[in-house]
Amino acid sequence: MDLIMEKFASLKFELGVFSGRLQDLKSKGFILIEDALPADYCNSIASFIDSYLDEKKGEHESGHLGSMQRIWAAEKHADIVQDYKDKCSRILSVLFGQPLQPQKILAMRDKVIPFKTDDERERFAKGRWHYDSWNDQYKIFLFLKDVGPDNGPFEFIPGTNGSFKKKLVLTRPWWLFNPFTHFTSTKRPYQSISDERVQSIIDRGYPTLPLVAKQGTMLIVNPSALIHRASPIQVGSRYLSVAYF
């Protein structure tokens, strides 16, 4: 074990806090843990992201007109990210009461970009709301820097899981499935829910919750259960490390 992994070996909470909270996660769709990891740990992963993208020009995926840069399987490139993957394995294994291992870690950076036209600005902001999948898929987010209302917070709509999602199948099935493309395309309607449709949900009494979080906060979430988006970033940057289960 190298020095950086020895230095950052401990979570700032006891895993026992998850005992009996599985039902809470399944009913609400998320659990928030503030002050889960120290600033130095988060800064080390953020520094890796900057170095990998800016100095090494490492392989990555870009999205949202180039504002979002994603490093998939980032644990292969940095010991500190592998350590985060191991931590997430322990967390979800305790929560579910069985051994669970993340498939991969996504390390990502979001930054403000200039727009050439108003059409670009509109395309950047719209069409972000979605469910990840029809089946449950749990993720653990680690916020590597402070996230405020203007630098791209994770935003979701509490209450759009469980019976709400099932009711959509009966009342608005075209929001979720398209029978004409279901077997010919991997893209599903639930993976891009229009702003107008989301506004109709908000108007029915389901307000959005932008997750303003301090550095070191962890979010355990089932984004297949909640309508959510990465809010359009307006200032600064946003750094995340996300474990996919």
- Structure confidence at residue 220 (pLDDT): 97
pLDDT for 29 equals: 92
- Tens of pLDDT along the chain (245 residues)? 344 444 555 888 888 888 789 999 999 999 999 999 999 999 999 999 999 999 999 999 998 888 999 999 999 999 999 999 999 999 999 999 999 999 999 999 999 988 889 888 888 889 899 999 888 999 999 999 999 999 999 999 999 998 898 888 888 888 877 777 766 776 788 888 999 999 999 999 999 999 999 999 999 999 999 999 999 999 999 999 999 99
By the 10 Å C-beta count (0-12 exposed, 13-18 middle, 19+ buried), 157 is classed as buried
**Strand, helix or coil at 33?**
strand
- Predicted TM-score (pTM) of this structure: 0.88
Domain CATH number, residue 234: 2.60.120.620
Q: Are 108 and 70 in contact (CB under 8 A)?
A: yes
Residue 171: count of CB within 10 angstroms of its CB: 8
Alpha-carbon span 59 to 56, nearest angstrom: 9
SS3 40: helix
Q: How many domains does the chain have?
A: 1
Length of the chain: 245
Domain containing residue 59: 3-244
Q: Which of 102, 82, 104 is nearest to 92 (CA)?
A: 102
Q: Can you give the pLDDT at residue 158? A: 94
Query: Can you tell me which residue has the tokens 């979720």?
Result: 176
On the CB side of 13, how many CA atoms lie within 13 Å of its CA?
Answer: 18
What is the pLDDT at residue 2?
Answer: 42
Q: Is 165 strand, coil or helix?
A: helix
Residue with the two structure tokens 């979800």:
92
